[in-house]
Amino acid sequence: MTLLALNNLSRDEFVRIVGPVFEHSPWIADQTWPKRPFANFETLLRALCETVHNSREDKQLGLVRAHPDLVGRAALEGKLTGASTSEQASAGLNTLTAEEISTFQNFNAAYRERFGFPFIICARLNKKEAMLQAFPVRLKHSREQELKTALEEIYKIASFRLHDILSS
């Protein structure tokens, strides 16, 4: 889809197409739609990310919590969104050993217990080894620091997903 076509969509169509850029959070596309027209990819992405950045913390937490755990139950049961399935596979998370699965699940549990939301990392920019190395480092952060990091990772994920839409 072209940016011109995207700019000319009705609100409902814009939300239907752009909504999935942020995991199970179409409210972001809905609140960004009135800011059209977008001059380029960067302007659109910035507007979407500003919608998140300017929202209340409970909305931001809802967005973070909408993301699945890496190698979590949803992934193991084949219940991820198509985008999440593809992204986790690109990082090699679909070919893990039983021991690696257990390691991810233990880290996920420790992270959720400490912060109250899932560990978020852009899978398209990281392989399983980098993710496993990031867990112990990030577990030492403050909750505020981790929420900020999670949102920054979500913005990276959104950039890739939005690029996919505008490249199709």
Q: Please, what sign has the CA dihedral across residues 128, 134, 158, 68? A: positive
CA distance 162 to 58: 24
> Does the active-site annotation cover 67?
yes
CA distance 86 to 98: 20
What is the per-residue burial (b if ≥16 Cβ within 10 Å, else e) of 16-52? eebbbbbbebebbbbbbbeeeebeeeeebbbbbbebb
What single-letter DSSP state applies at residue 69?
P
Task: Give helix then strand counts, H and E, for the chain.
Answer: 10, 0
| Token pair of 115 as six digits | 């912060």
The residue from 24, 53, 67, 163 that is catalytic is 67
Query: Catalytic residue positions?
Result: 67
